[in-house]
Amino acid sequence: MIRIIFRQLTTLALSFLGITLIFFALTQLIPGDPVIINYGNLTPGSEEYLAAVHAMGLDQSLFQQYLIYVDNILHGDLGRSNITNKPVLSEFFTFFPATFELSLIATLIALIFGVLAGVLAAVKKNTWVDNLVISSSLVGYSMPVFWWGMLLILLFSLNLGLTPVAGRISYVFDIEPVTGLMLVDSLLAYSKYEFAAFFDALRHLILPSLVLATVPLAAIARMTRSSMIEVLNADYILTAQSKGVSRWKIIWVHGLRNAMIPLVTVIGLQSSVLLTGAILTETIFAWPGVGKWMVEAIFRRDFPSIQGGVLLIAFFVIFINASVDLLYAVINPRMRRPK
């Protein structure tokens, strides 16, 4: 296990160096004065301008500039927004709780319904149920997020009036941001609104989480089906059947537990889908998260926010995938055997 942890730490370090090198190279290709791009309209030759030149290492070699760039990242200095003049890292983590809450609920929806659909399709192999699950997952995986989101808004929000169109909570509720997670903060305000604020926040969360969960749900359903079919045909399952073990225990205990091993990798890969899908989903539903913040930074040409936001998202994806690899080693004993 120590060998696996050391290997993952090495992979993380190499990935960090690779990403920072790519981003540094891209910053060199952006046309224009890098000081003006990163610090705003400073007057060339002024004290502020010269201080910015020294801070970015522009008066030194490219290698020294790269070392300064990496050192700034390690110290949490990703620059300041050209629009708000606030640190990019501070702005990112201001919007991150909204994206985390949306991604977490979408992940739970994808896991629960994807695993159930995949198990059902495997048990009912080559029946209309199996064909329905395969067809639905194919449609869900190929459906454009922006189109699917607008369809749900037209149906459930505008025509049926069941869910709100946009935002995280209605303006009638004054919720103090404690954790940044609206479901949690609305419960903390129970003495003021009881459960009214919580259910309102939940209603706002339904449609965007369903839209964001569609692609991962389809991928998990198809992988669960394939893994379950392979596991249910294994020798130890046939042995359990011959011993009279109940069908429920064979499917949900012996079968699903072993089918989850390859499924863990798929769940980790879907983390990047959730983060990239959040950009479109948050834009459609005016969800005040990292995705919407990034889109607004692109329209405003706020280069420090764009660079810092993409860099942080890349770090999160790498960290999640490394964590999934460690989890895979924990649940799969064969990975821990010395070669």
The domains of the chain, with CATH numbers, are 2-74 (no CATH), 88-336 (1.10.3720.10)
> Which residues does the chain have with pLDDT short of 70?
1, 4, 31-33, 35, 37-41, 331-339
CA distance 51 to 54: 5
Longest Cα–Cα distance in the chain: 85
Tokens of 75: 């110290």
pLDDT at residue 113, rounded to an integer: 92
Cβ neighbours around 94 below 10 Å, total: 15
Q: What pLDDT is recorded for position 209?
A: 92
- Name residue, tokens 């225990």: 249
Contact in structure between 208 and 285 (CB atoms under 8 Å): yes
In angstroms, the CA 55 to CA 74 distance is: 15
3-state secondary structure of 176: coil
pLDDT, the chain, mean = 83
pLDDT of residue 205: 92
